[in-house]
Structure 1
Amino acid sequence: MAMHASKLRGREQVAHGTMAFHLDKPAGFQFKPGQAIDVVLLESPAGDAQNARHTFSIVSAPFENQLAIATRMRDSAFKRTLGALPVGARIAIEGPSGSLTLHNDRARPAVFIAGGIGITPFMSIVRQAAHDRLHQQLVLLYSNRRPEDAAYLAELQELERHNADFRLIATMTLMSSSSQPWTGSQGLIDAALVKRATDALIKPIYYLAGPPGMVEAMRQTLNDARIDDDDIRSEEFYGY
């Protein structure tokens, strides 16, 4: 994979404890929605070169003129250093990498199942689909503890309003600790919710992204529903 020079252009909070970072898009840099990059800090945090690199799914879509990543701000040497970088700081990016990209058969729907920060690769796919006016059925099941924790929720709701081929089903698992109202689904993404969301779809392909436990549980749920592994694609998010 090629290494490219970039700079930090801005940051914003996109959910409780979750920050998005906007980066210069190097000239000629190309990627597919759903792919990832390695962000390499030019000064190793804590003097440890192994802590200077982290892989992130690209949140921005290829049509956008900047790159964006988003991450939960855990207390790690890398994330402390990234969070403290001044705007304009030089970094390097390597990539793109990853194969969690939308299949080419437009007649087959895509069902995205995301837990928490696992939403990031799907944001790029859904944004690009809206931009391209892609006529392919896309369904997103998105699980968080509370609305406060759901990165890009408002944008996804807006994308659903403007794209007849995109359906969002967001569900919250811990509304008892939320200070915001929520009238949508509550509870885990289980077999019943998947069935309701996909009953009308013909031969969908499933995409899973989130913490390893969530991805493993969802794969088992789909297998129990007789979904073949050939129709399931996944990416596990470690250390987020």
Structure 2
Amino acid sequence: MTRHFSHVIATGVFWLGMYLALVLAPLFVLLIGPTPPGLGFLWDLSMALGFAGLGMMGVQFVLTARFRHATTPFGIDIIYYFHRYVGIVLLVVVLAHPILVIVDNPATIAFLNPFGAPWHMIAGTVSLLALIAVVVASVWRKALGLAYEPWRWTHTALSVAAVVFALVHIEGVQYYVASPWKRLLWRVFALTWIAVVCHVRLIRPYLLRRRPYRVVSIAQERGDAWTLALEPRGHEGISFQPGQFAWLTLGGSPLLMTEHPFSFSSSPTLPGGRLEFTIKELGDFTRTIGRVPLDAVGFVDGPYGTFTIERHPAPGYVFIAGGIGIAPIMSILRSLADRGDRRPLLLVYAYRRWERMTFRDAIEELRARLNLTVVFVLEEPPPEWSGERGWITREVLDRHLPEDRRLRHVFVCGPEAMTQAIERQLRGLGLPLSHVHSELFELV
């Protein structure tokens, strides 16, 4: 286990170093060879921030390209969160570029006038406006009422526009890129970013079209949830580890960018390559799951994620779930039952009402096949309820965690606020941080 964690940390440090290198390399390369005379600290800092900002914009495409070797040390959910918050930092860096120029030379504010500014300065302004729109629409998507599918198209189009107009701006200004080989360098960067976009939006969807699935059953669960079962058509399917997830497209082409991320809720040992996803009615797309016709065509891009016991061997496990966060944990429990695993397990599962608790009956069936202790926590319990009430608090965890708690690995999945609160509680109870694993399923 020590070697495993050392390898994970070393791999993570390597990819973080790669990120910094990709962001800063263009700036360092531009400083090689003849450079224009310095025009003061603020001016040169502004130019450096502009080039670094464009480097960050290009790497944003790489972060969401789902390259497994790069995402495995962190988990793709963490990569997507990193992508989101780096986008905010990126906007601050790029905004600082024109602000510092104007502070250094107030006359340059005239370049913001679209009716009198040179074309390359207009391109810079358009790039900045596109980037602002990307960040605002991403951070406040739900508050603005933007549906998922239109947002994805808009997000991609605006992101590409921001990069293209920024490159036009650099080409026109020619500061630090006057020499032919430096202009060629930026064109190589641009082609690389375009290639990443084409891989994500065209090549990968095209390959998925050659490996279709079909919907073979739809079962209603408690709590406005549905279990959707698919089987591969004309191929052997995919192998996944219990607890992982995939992007699912239903009833259309993967080229249409209508995919949504869902956790597997089935054991990976189901015959015939069968996959099951348990999906709660929470949004525009998920509210239609119950009406998906049998034999509908589906496409599965996966598996992804590190929320799996396969990466974390331990003498026993603790699972903490809230709401539909039980889905990946059910995949793990079912897999352990299929293997005949008798290690001690604790499941702490929080829900609002008893009668709506998803998988309540399936969990009871698993007790007979596993060495499983279950603690249900109800926010609105029935009058006769004698179990835990309210939320999963530190006191609840301290009552039920086993004596060997520091040896167990803990898997937490649920709403983001709940997950963060439980992580704090577990740290307060002395559990090693390396033994706590969370799934952040609110990716966008």
Q: Among residues 34, 37, 54, which one is paired with 2:246 in the alignment?
A: 37
Q: Which residue of 2 aligns with 1:96?
A: 303
Larger fraction in helix: 2
Aligned to 2:329: 122
Pick from 367, 386, 391 the counterpart of residue 188 of structure 1: 391
Q: Distance in 1 between matches of 2:283 and 2:241?
A: 30
Task: Report what 1:73 is aligned to.
Answer: 281
Shift in Å, 1:188: 1.2
1:38·1:94 contact (CA, 8 Å) conserved in 2? Answer: yes
Tell me which residue corresponds to 1:222: 426
Residues in 2 aligned to 1:183 and 1:239: alpha-carbon distance in whole angstroms: 36
Q: How far does the alpha carbon of each residue in 1:110-156 deviate from its partner, in whole angstroms, 9 at most, with x for none?
A: 11100010001110111111111113221110000011221111111
Per the alignment, residue 208 of structure 1 pairs with: 412
Q: Is the partner of 1:175 in helix, strand or coil?
A: coil
In structure 2, how many angstroms separate the alpha carbons of the residues matched to 1:17 and 1:105? 32
The residue that corresponds to 1:12 in the other structure is 219
Runs of 4+ displaced beyond 4 Å: 103-107
Give SS of 1:120's match. Answer: helix
List gaps (5 residues or longer) in structure 2.
1-65, 67-206
Q: Are the equivalent residues in 1 in contact too, given 2:246–2:263 (CA < 8 A)?
A: yes
Identity %: 27
- What's the offset of the Cα at 1:82? 3.7
Higher alpha-carbon deviation: 64-73 or 192-201:
192-201
Give the whole-Å Cα distance in 2 for the aligned partners of 1:69 and 1:142: 19
Larger radius of gyration: 2
The answer to whether the Cα contact below 8 Å between 1:106 and 1:135 also exists between their aligned partners in 2 is no
Structure 1 Cα separation of the partners of residues 312 and 260 of structure 2 = 32
Partners of 1:58 and 1:67 within 8 A in 2:
yes
User: What is the CA–CA distance in structure 1 between the aligned matches of 2:432 and 2:223, rounded to whole Å?
Assistant: 36
**Contact in 2 for aligned 1:106/1:136 (Cα 8 Å):** no
3-state DSSP of counterpart to 1:117: helix
Give, in angstroms, the shift of residue 81 of structure 1. 4.5
Paired AA for residue 162 in structure 1: R
Structure with the higher strand share, 1 or 2: 1
Matching residue within 139, 154, 164 for 2:346: 139
Aligned partner letter, 1:64: L
TM-score, scaled relative to structure 2: 0.49
Q: Which residue of 1 aligns with 2:441?
A: 237
Q: TM-score, normalised by structure 1?
A: 0.87
CA 1:107–1:238 in 2, change beyond 3 Å: closer, same or farther?
closer
Q: Is the 8 A contact 1:208 1:232 kept in 2?
A: yes
Amino acid at match of 1:167: T
- Of the structure 1 ranges 19-28 and 226-235, higher mean CA displacement relative to structure 2 is found in 19-28
8 A contact 1:147–1:182 mirrored in 2:
no
Deviations 1:24-67 (A, max 9, x none): 145142111111111013437xxx944x1111110010111321
3-state SS of 1:162 partner: coil
Q: 2:327 corresponds to which letter in structure 1?
A: T
Q: Is the 8 A contact 1:204 1:231 kept in 2?
A: yes
- Where 2:377 maps in the other structure, the secondary structure is strand
**What SS is found at the alignment partner of 2:368?**
helix
Cα distance in 2 between the residues matched to 1:42 and 1:11: 14
SS of the residue corresponding to residue 278 of structure 2 reads strand
Query: With CA pairs under 8 Å and 6+ residues apart, which has the higher RCO, 1 or 2?
Result: 1
CA distance in 1, matches of 2:304, 2:294: 26
Residue 236 of structure 2 is aligned to residue 27 of structure 1:
yes
Q: Report the residue type matching 2:223 in the other structure.
A: H
Select 1:57's aligned residue among 253, 263, 269: 263
Amino acid in structure 2 at the alignment position of 1:137:
P
Q: Which amino acid aligns with 1:231?
A: H
SS state at 1:154 partner = helix
Any conservation in 2 of the 1:116–1:149 contact (CA below 8 Å)? Answer: no
Shift of 1:16: 2.4
Give yes or no for contact 2:241–2:310 (8 Å, CA) kept in 1: no
The RMSD of aligned alpha carbons is: 2.4
> Hey, what does 2:379 align to over in structure 1?
173
Amino acid at match of 1:146: R
